[in-house]
Amino acid sequence: MNNDAKNRRVLCRRRFIKELGAASALGGVLNARLLGSDVKPFALAPLPYPYEALEPYINKATMQMHHDRICAVYVNNLNKLVAEHAPYLFRQKVEELLAVELYAIPEEIRDSVRENGGGVLNHTLFFDGMAPEAGGAPVGELAQAIPNTFGSFEKWKERFTAVALKQAGTAGGGWVWLVRDDVGKLEVTSTSNQDSATANMWVPLVALDVCEHAYKLQYHTHVADYVAAFYNVVNWSEANKRFTAHRED
């Protein structure tokens, strides 16, 4: 890569990080902020609704386990890694850590930060992207952008479901995403393990966890039922907010 290309990439990354910070869904809840000279650890963001609010689609026991145990472990692991190896990283937001990893994170903890930081960010996007009495059709600008890109909302659902089932069938599961990609186009894609959509400079709009722990308690091996249920709790208003916050024009 020549210097010009390198500079463009860095600028692009900086702009991306700035835009991410501007997203109301992400700003302020995830990060360890630098308050005066006090450095705070990364915090487990509370659920924006009661544990039982998504029933019958996702039950209370699943939400309690997923938020209080699984997500909390990622937060604790991340804090331990950063405290022991690179406390200056507490000045960053989690989404910044994942976007600047090559520059800022010591190599010996890079993979673990990616895994645990991704775990924190992905789960927060997932939990905040659902709501009771939600689901239905996309709203706002997404109401047009989704059919424009995928043909129809139904076709988008078919695509999202197919990608979800395929990713769920891989070892370790992973995540399914509706993203705005780095040229501004909507796309359905997936990542493995806890890899985050943001690491590819995608702006995540809708996130679905297809790791086994996300559905086994309630749906056992019936992952297709879990994916179908998810459409009843997608918070399209939040997805549209993420979409318009990052629009290029």
| Chain residues that interact with Mn ion, rule: CB under 5 A | 209, 211, 214
CA distance 17 to 99: 7
Helix, strand, or coil here: 91?
helix
Residue closer to Mn ion by CB (options 95, 209) is 209
CB 134 within 8 A of CB 147: no
Question: Minimum CB separation from Mn ion for residue 110, in Å?
Answer: 22
Residue closer to Mn ion by CB (options 63, 89) is 63
> How would you label 164-176 residue by residue, b for 16+ Cβ within 10 Å and e otherwise?
beebbeeeebbbb
CA distance 153 to 191: 22
CB closest to Mn ion, residue no: 209
Residue closer to Mn ion by CB (options 138, 204) is 204
Q: Name residue 28's amino acid.
A: G
Question: Minimum CB separation from Mn ion for residue 66, in Å?
Answer: 6
Which residue has tokens 């991306």? 16
Question: Minimum CB separation from Mn ion for residue 30, in Å?
Answer: 16
CA distance 227 to 114: 26
Question: Minimum CB separation from Mn ion for residue 119, in Å?
Answer: 7
Residue closer to Mn ion by CB (options 121, 201) is 121
Residue closer to Mn ion by CB (options 25, 214) is 214
Question: Minimum CB separation from Mn ion for residue 194, in Å?
Answer: 8
Residue closer to Mn ion by CB (options 201, 211) is 211
Question: Minimum CB separation from Mn ion for residue 74, in Å?
Answer: 9
Which pair of tokens denotes residue 146?
Answer: 């989704």
CA distance 112 to 68: 20
> Could you tell me the sign of the dihedral formed by the alpha carbons of 16, 97, 119, 211, in that order?
positive
